[in-house]
Every structure is written in structure tokens, then in C-alpha cells.
Amino acid sequence: MKENKDIGKLNSAIVSEDTLFDHIANLIDESRTQIAKTVNSAMVYTYYGVGQYIVEFEQGGNSRAEYGKGVLKRLSARLTEKYGAGWSYANLRSMRQFYMVYSKMLTSGQQNQNDDQRSANPSFILPWTHYQIIMREDNPDARSFYELEAYNQQWSKRQLQRQVSSSLYERLALSRDKAEVMRLATEGQTIEKPSDIIKNPLVLEFVGLKPEAAYTENKLETAILDKIEDFLLECGKGFLFEGRQKRFTFDEDNFYVDLVLYNRILQCYVLVDLKVDKLSHQDLGQMLMYVNYFDRYKRLEFEKPTIGILLCPSKNDALVELTLPQDANIYAQQYALCLPDKALLQQKLREWIEEYNELNGKEE
């Protein structure tokens, strides 16, 4: 909310009733937003505390654990009678799980502290609905990543659920150098170089096309444009849509780029060519020409070199490396039309990290 001293500065701007109304309405909207954030934050800390009391009660003796379900049901009935909805048996179980998950994250690495010295509560930055999704993740690094990204990118509950379901953390981690994987948990997704925007694979389940069905590049392009907001969210941070079938003419021949995006963080064009068949060296050569044209005739002096991405259902890394110059800013990116197997990606990531730790003599 704006400081009161700022309100005094508005006098000169209030020249009509409409202006007066707009200023008051904006002030009320800002106040309500702030109140909602405060209420949401208080709810999360309250639920964490409720979960703590439940866990401490259960730990009071083995006999209590035996009839814990009955205790929670009776507790639910009493709380609902006094406070109304929101205190169901299922919700109390979620609060219990919430405390167990986040108290472990809080005390990790603090085993040497005196047991009587209680640590402060963790710092919660998201609404309760978001934590209900995040706390189901077994990997603490994944939980930390989703919490950071949901906060920084202002993801709605639906957007967060989709990113978790599509295994965004695992896909980003498997697309990076092993030394950079841990940064995802502490910093979220950082965009510093072209390769940082690549995921393995790009998941396009939202376009509604079936993997087993026949479809054309035009149909895929149209389906993406119908869901352009979801597509940009899947692409990642900083993406803006500029146009489809962007035409440019060279030596009296017309050429068309399927999708032209712009990344405001990297400050560069991102050209996307859609493929529904096996990627060929001709496809790679064509994208190289597109990138060269934009770099030479479209890019402004302050902008970074253009990035080219060929979206394809499968790729041959050896063919890509052999066809393109080593310094080419072009990537063959696989896409999938259905959500990936989360358990399989998690297993791949565990194996990858274990291998990296063994090679570098690090303990997990």
C-alpha cells in the first residue's frame, strides 16, 4: 500500500470527479490486495502450527498413534462446530503433513543444536493452496524450486499444478550441466545464456493433440497459437510473442518463420520452427539461414544474437553437432504431447546426481 505522504501529492492530479473516483478505487483495491496477502500468510502459519500440535500430540505415546484417526475426526467435528468450514479430517491431515515436511526442511543440517532450542518457523511466501501442491513433492530441492518460481513468477494455483505435473524441475535439471543443477533449488530458474531456456523435453499436452494421431505442422502451429499463454508459460521466463509465419524476403525469395518470439531477459529474438517428422540436416541448415538473416537485418545494436529452436518429436544429437557450426546459437528441442513419466524423470535425475557426486568425490 502507498504511504500516506504520497496521498497528499495527488491533490494537483484530482481535477474531476472521475479522477477522484479512480484514485479512491485504486487505493481500495491496493488495500484489499494487501489484506488478502496478510490473511493468506496468517492462514499458512496457523496451519503449520496446527500441524505441529497434532504431531506433538501423536508423539506423546504409542497408544495415541493407534487411535490417531479417531482423534482427528473428533477434533475436526469440534473445530468445525466452533469455526465453521475448513477444518475437515482431510484438511487436518494436510496440516499434519505440512508441518512434517517443512519442519524437516527447517531442521536439516541442525542436528548438533540442543533439542530444547526451537528454531523459528520457516518463512512462508505462498498461499496455502500452493503449499498443498508443493508439499507432495518428495525431493526437497524440487519443493524449494517450485516455491521460488511460484512466488517470483506469480503462478496461479492452476499454473503451479501444471508445472509440477509436467515435472518442470526434473526437465530443467536434466537439461543443464550437472554443476548447475543445485542452483535450481536455491535460485530458481536463472536465464543467463541461451541454453538456459532449454528443457528436456518441452511439454505441449495443453494443445490437445494426441501423440498417436496424425497431424501436420500447420495443425500443431494453430493448436499452439490457440493456447499461446500456456505455450509461453511452458517456454519459460521472459518470453513474448511477436508473430506467426513471419515473412522475410531475400534475393527475391520469400521465407517464413513459424513462430517469432522475443526473450526480454536475454534481449534477443527466438525463432521457432515446428517439425512433425524426423529432423534432417536440411531443417538445421534452414534455421541457420533464418538466424543469420535476423542477426544481420533485424537485430538492433543493443540486442543479443538471435536464438533458433527446432521443435521436433525426436532428434539425433550426432546429426545436429555434425551439421551446425560449434558456435551456432541453434538448438534441436524435443517436444512431447503428453505429460512425461514423473517417476522415470525423477529416477534419471537421481542417477545423474549420484554419478556426478561419485566423479567429484562428494557425499549426497
Domain residue ranges of the chain, discontinuous segments joined by +: 4-105, 202-339
- Residue 132 scores a pLDDT above 80: yes
What does pLDDT average to over the chain? 85
Q: What angle do CA 13, 14, 16 make, to 5 degrees?
A: 130
> Each residue of 218-237: pLDDT tens digit?
999 999 999 999 999 999 99
Q: Which three cell numbers stand for residue 162?
A: 501444471
Measure Cα distances from 175 to 49, 95, 137, 196, 285 in Å: 38, 34, 20, 8, 23
The β-bridge partners of 325 are: none
pLDDT of residue 68: 63
Measure Cα distances from 208 to 29, 139, 174, 204, 213 in Å: 37, 30, 25, 8, 11
pLDDT of residue 120: 55
- The band of 110, judged by pLDDT with boundaries at 50, 70 and 90, is very low
> Each residue of 245-298: pLDDT tens digit?
999 888 888 999 999 999 999 999 999 999 999 899 999 999 999 999 999 999
- The band of 147, judged by pLDDT with boundaries at 50, 70 and 90, is very high
- Residue 56 scores a pLDDT above 60: yes
Burial environment of residue 35 by CB neighbours within 10 A (0 to 12, 13 to 18, 19 or more): exposed
Its pTM stands at 0.78
- The band of 14, judged by pLDDT with boundaries at 50, 70 and 90, is low
- Topology of 202-339 in CATH? Trna Endonuclease; Chain: A, domain 1 (3.40.1350)
- The band of 1, judged by pLDDT with boundaries at 50, 70 and 90, is very low
pLDDT of residue 315: 86
